[in-house]
């Protein structure tokens, strides 16, 4: 059983200039050859673009949620550092009185958070690598996630932590030690 009623797709290669008149001529020929069928057309580049629309939406959502997570994490870290500094105000005052520098006091506060970041990347790095490889398997042409991606993520995390911890610990390190000891 062959015949025009079993075919509903036709591919035509066109030049990009003067598309409208060519499409009108193709539509006239279609209506002449197959008057019982509706003429509908789409361009291959639009079809391929629509295939990746879901990935574009998912990419936007991941970016937005990542920014929200970083913001919430930074606020939580700020609260944690503030709480830690307020609990150790007397220690900071005694260290300052005994001659500790602001840098050494900031190092004391930062050391704990550096350890937390290293442990978190030891867990999150392989997990993220596995999830990205699984997601990339769905594509015909895929890339391998490079080490630079993970290193840049670690560096950005360290910068955020050092900035957050640095601001609060700098204020605590430069506060008057007499005030810290008097209030305790």
Contacting residues for 177 by C-beta, under 8 A, at least 6 apart: 92, 93, 94, 96, 97
Residue 38 has pLDDT above 60, yes or no: yes
What integer pLDDT is reported at residue 1 of this predicted model? 43
Is pTM beyond 0.75? Reply is no
Cα separation, 93 vs 179, in Å, equals: 8
CA angle, 168 then 173 then 176, to 5°? 115
Cα separation, 75 vs 71, in Å, equals: 6
Q: Which of 9-18, 116-125, 132-141 has the highest mean pLDDT?
A: 116-125
Confidence of residue 81 (pLDDT cuts 50, 70, 90): confident
What integer pLDDT is reported at residue 67 of this predicted model? 92
pLDDT in tens, 4-32: 555 567 778 888 788 888 888 888 988 89
| Mean pLDDT calculated for residue range 78-96 | 84
What integer pLDDT is reported at residue 183 of this predicted model? 62
Residue 167 has pLDDT above 80, yes or no: yes
What integer pLDDT is reported at residue 64 of this predicted model? 97
| Mean pLDDT calculated for residue range 31-49 | 85
Cα separation, 26 vs 76, in Å, equals: 63
What integer pLDDT is reported at residue 6 of this predicted model? 57
| Mean pLDDT calculated for residue range 80-88 | 85
Mean per-residue pLDDT of the chain: 83
Token pair 């958070």 in the structure block, residue: 113
Q: Are 180 and 90 in contact (CB under 8 A)?
A: yes
Top pLDDT among 182 and 62 is at 62
């Amino acid at each position: 059983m062959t015949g025009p009623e079993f075919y509903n797709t036709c591919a035509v290669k066109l030049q990009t200039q003067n598309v409208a008149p060519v499409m009108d001529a193709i539509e006239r020929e279609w209506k002449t050859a197959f008057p019982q069928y509706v003429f509908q057309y789409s361009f291959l580049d639009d079809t391929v673009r629509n295939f990746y629309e879901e990935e574009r939406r998912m990419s936007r959502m991941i970016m937005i949620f990542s920014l929200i997570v970083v913001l919430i994490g930074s606020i939580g870290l700020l609260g944690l550092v503030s709480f830690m500094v307020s609990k150790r105000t007397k220690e900071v005052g005694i260290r300052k009185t005994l001659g500790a520098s602001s840098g050494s006091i900031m190092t004391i506060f930062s050391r704990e958070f550096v350890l937390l970041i290293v442990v978190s990347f030891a867990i999150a790095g392989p997990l993220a690598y596995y999830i990205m490889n699984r997601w990339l398997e769905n594509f015909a042409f895929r890339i391998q996630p490079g080490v630079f991606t993970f290193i840049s993520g670690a560096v950005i995390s360290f910068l955020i932590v050092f900035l957050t911890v640095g601001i609060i610990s700098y204020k605590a390190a430069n506060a008057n030690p007499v005030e810290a000891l008097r209030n305790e």
